[in-house]
């Protein structure tokens, strides 16, 4: 097992209690230690338990073919968002617990846009302690609420011992996303009995359930998405039905498998690509999928940066204090509607004239009509607004409080839409001078082309992608004049290795919508998000196929489904990352 699985045992909340709880704590730690030393650690032997192949043994009559998967790890820790979603769904809570707010922030891998990079999701002493505290709090909260506990307990048959074992078996399968091994059932059943006397404020059956629940939530099998299948077929190892269910659920909903996905795994109905497609299509209709897809775009398009939007009250007296929140809500509604409800394409994301506005945003957009506090869907003037990058969020978040910022607008388009690598600016670059005469563009041109060092990046890689947005001020409002002079939004960016004559941002986003480079860049982001790692050469075959599909007008949702039914998703490499 990789070294980061060997974290120190979580600090116990029972440490200062009487001997019975101390003995119970020892049992928990022994269980956790034994869990980390099962057959999954070697990566070479048979997977533990018949359920690894489950009912699907011998049913792969439709071989999984296609591009080989890249070497990867087998122990991906849940992100904080995944932890929240999984706890909510495991315990069948009405809302998220909110306890992940106490977790330390995860480090981000350089060059990786998303929060699910496997190699950056480690557990240190601080997070280990936070997990332990959260598990204790959740177990206490649920076990003290009869209605909450009833949601996860099996029916009362009058036999407490049988009911306890059924609780361990049923909740354990959902917590670990696979059936428990017989020895695990025995161990957790033993914990249940120890737990009856482990607390000062509760005893008996509810105390046993509380103790087992806390142990589940502290187990590495809950905190990590573990893949233990080890039987190779050629250079790849087919995933078990439970492992496929886990991959599907975390890709499409950011949470554990739902009841129907568990049923499919038990029945061996996730062994063929067509079976996986059916489940993927079903998951896309769930609220969890809507949230997960918006979250992907949220991170790709950096909606978090919208929090920095703060137009100058003197320059923009009509902008309210809640402007930043409003433009973020507008962008999220746009993505959810376009990508999920309308099954839109990448080209639609670049060129759609639809938007969601309330009274505050309608004024900035210059729309006529009556608008209130609620967001409504509108059609923006197509000669002024096309796609997500001509909406207020992108424009205002890439601006100062007074002037638009073509440098950051250009860097964003170059790096995130076209996957162009741009070096960091050299040290000691002075800030832009104030605009006294001329336009914002003229000041930026003079400043960035005054030296050969700056000009090398700005002249071809940055400014040509930023200047087309000069028709939009720092708040994102459309304008035709700047400082009394006509706006010049023309440029000559290099797209698909060819210079393009562009008159404004409308022509730029149209060019991006047709660019193979842009489609390939977007697909590479989808693959990185789906696999929780950066793009590698083994991805090229799948990347090319999906890029062709995207260029042909395949919806973004369908691209995700095709990733899910690919061999790279349904198998893992026999070569494991160290």
Q: Write the DSSP string, 418-470.
A: S----PPPPTTPPPPPP--SS-HHHHHHHHHTSSHHHHHHIIIIIHHHHGGGT
Q: Do the beta carbons of residue 255 and residue 249 sit within 8 Å?
A: yes
Least confident of 106-110, 118-122, 243-247, 525-529: 106-110
Tens of pLDDT, residue by residue over 221-256, are 999 999 999 888 888 899 999 999 999 999 999 999
Checking if the pLDDT of 315 tops 60, the result is yes
Is 366 a residue whose pLDDT tops 60?
yes
Mean model confidence pLDDT for the chain: 88
In this structure, of 6-10, 370-374, 442-446, the range with the lowest mean pLDDT score is 6-10
Highest-scoring range by mean pLDDT, 227-236, 433-442, 562-571: 562-571
pLDDT mean over 366-381: 96
> What is the pLDDT at residue 459?
72
**The token pair that represents 97 in the structure block:** 């617990």
Q: What is the mean pLDDT of residues 379-385?
A: 96
Question: 291-305, 431-445, 559-573 — which is least confidently predicted?
Answer: 431-445
pLDDT classification of 43: cutoffs 50, 70, 90: very low
Lowest mean pLDDT among 32-46, 74-88, 452-466: 32-46
Helix (H) or strand (E) holding 224: strand 224-226
Cross-strand pairs, 494: 499
Min mean pLDDT across 277-281, 314-318, 472-476 is at 314-318
Separation CA 209–CA 452 (nearest Å): 69
Question: What is the rounded end-to-end Cα distance, in angstroms, of the chain?
Answer: 9
Give me the pLDDT at residue 73, please: 84
In this prediction, residue 448 carries a pLDDT of: 79
Q: What pLDDT is attached to residue 108?
A: 84
173's tokens: 């399968």
Average pLDDT over residues 506-530: 98
Residue 62: what pLDDT?
A: 54
User: Please, which residues have CB within 8 angstroms of residue 577's CB and are 6 or more apart in sequence?
Assistant: 2, 71, 72, 73
Structure tokens at 336: 């959810």
| Closest-CA residue to 268 (of 500, 89, 57) | 57
Asked if residues 351 and 511 have their Cβ atoms less than 8 Å apart, the reply is no
Give yes or no for residue 304 having a pLDDT over 60. Answer: yes
Between residues 513 and 236, which one has the greater pLDDT?
A: 513
Contact 505, 410 (CB under 8 A): no
Would the pLDDT of 58 be above 90? no
What's the mean pLDDT in 374-387? 97
Which residue is it, tokens 């004559």?
501
Beta-carbon contacts of residue 364 (< 8 Å; ≥ 6 apart): 318, 319, 392, 475, 476, 477
- pLDDT number for residue 37: 45
* Separation in Å, CA 461 to CA 19, 118, 390, 499: 68, 31, 20, 11
The reported pLDDT for the residue numbered 418 is: 98
pLDDT at residue 455, as a whole number: 66
Task: Read off the pLDDT of each residue in 63-84 and give the average, rounded to a whole number.
Answer: 85
The number of residues in the chain equals 578
Segment 124-135 mean pLDDT: 96
DSSP E strands, 4-104: 75-77
What are residue 572's DSSP bridge partners?
A: 237
**What pLDDT is recorded for position 437?**
78
Angle among Cα 1, 258, 70 to the nearest 5 degrees reads 40
Cα 245 to Cα 240: distance, rounded to the nearest angstrom: 9
Please give the average per-residue pLDDT across 435-464, as a whole number.
Answer: 78
């Amino acid at each position: 097992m990789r070294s980061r699985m060997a974290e120190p045992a979580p600090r116990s909340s029972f440490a200062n209690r009487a001997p019975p709880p101390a003995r119970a704590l020892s049992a928990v730690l022994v269980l956790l230690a034994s869990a980390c030393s099962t057959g999954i650690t070697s990566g070479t032997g048979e997977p533990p338990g018949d359920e690894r192949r489950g009912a699907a043994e011998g049913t792969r009559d439709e071989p999984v073919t296609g591009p080989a998967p890249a070497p990867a790890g087998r122990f991906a820790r849940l992100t904080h968002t995944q932890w929240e979603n999984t706890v909510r769904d495991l315990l069948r809570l009405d809302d998220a617990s909110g306890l992940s707010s106490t977790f330390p922030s995860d480090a981000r891998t350089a060059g990786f846009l998303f929060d699910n990079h496997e190699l950056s999701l480690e557990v240190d002493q601080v997070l280990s302690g936070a997990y332990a505290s959260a598990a204790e709090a959740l177990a206490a909260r649920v076990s003290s609420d009869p209605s909450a506990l009833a949601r996860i307990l099996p029916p009362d048959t009058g036999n407490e011992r049988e009911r306890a074992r059924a609780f361990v078996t049923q909740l354990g399968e959902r917590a670990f996303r696979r059936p428990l091994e017989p020895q695990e059932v025995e161990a957790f059943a033993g914990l249940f009995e120890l737990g009856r006397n482990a607390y000062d404020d509760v005893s008996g059956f509810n105390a046993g359930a509380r103790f087992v629940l806390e142990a589940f939530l502290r187990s590495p099998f809950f905190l990590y998405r573990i893949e233990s299948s080890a039987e190779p077929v050629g250079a790849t190892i087919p995933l078990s039905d439970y492992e496929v269910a886990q991959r599907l659920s975390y890709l499409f909903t950011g949470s554990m498998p739902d009841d129907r996905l568990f049923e499919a795994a038990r029945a061996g109905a996730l062994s063929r690509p067509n079976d996986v497609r059916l489940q993927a299509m079903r998951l896309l209709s769930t609220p969890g999928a809507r949230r997960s897809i918006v979250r992907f775009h949220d991170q790709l398009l950096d909606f978090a940066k919208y929090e920095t939007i703060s137009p100058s009250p003197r320059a923009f007296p009509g902008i309210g204090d809640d402007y930043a929140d409003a433009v973020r809500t507008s962008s999220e509604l746009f993505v959810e509607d376009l990508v999920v409800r309308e099954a839109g394409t990448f080209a639609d994301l670049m060129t759609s004239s639809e938007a969601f506005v309330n009274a505050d945003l309608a004024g900035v957009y210059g729309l006529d009509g009556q608008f209130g506090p609620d967001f409504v869907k509108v059609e923006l003037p197509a000669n002024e607004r096309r796609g997500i990058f001509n909406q207020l969020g992108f424009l205002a978040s890439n601006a100062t409080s007074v002037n638009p910022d073509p440098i950051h607008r250009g860097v964003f388009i170059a790096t995130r839409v076209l996957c162009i690598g741009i070096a960091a600016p050299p040290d000691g670059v002075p800030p832009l001078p104030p605009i006294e005469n001329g336009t914002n563009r003229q000041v930026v041109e003079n400043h960035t082309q005054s030296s050969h060092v700056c000009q090398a990046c700005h002249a071809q890689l940055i400014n040509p992608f930023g200047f087309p947005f000069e028709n939009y001020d720092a708040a994102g409002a459309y304008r035709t004049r700047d400082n009394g002079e006509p706006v010049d939004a023309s440029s000559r960016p290099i797209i698909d290795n060819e210079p393009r004559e562009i008159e404004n941002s409308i022509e730029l986003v149209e060019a991006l919508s047709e660019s193979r480079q842009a489609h390939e860049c977007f697909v590479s982001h989808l693959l990185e998000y789906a696999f929780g790692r950066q793009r590698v050469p083994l991805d090229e075959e799948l990347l090319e196929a999906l890029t062709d599909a995207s260029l042909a007008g395949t919806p973004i949702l369908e691209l995700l489904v095709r990733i899910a039914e690919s061999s790279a998703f349904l198998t893992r490499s026999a070569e494991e990352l160290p």
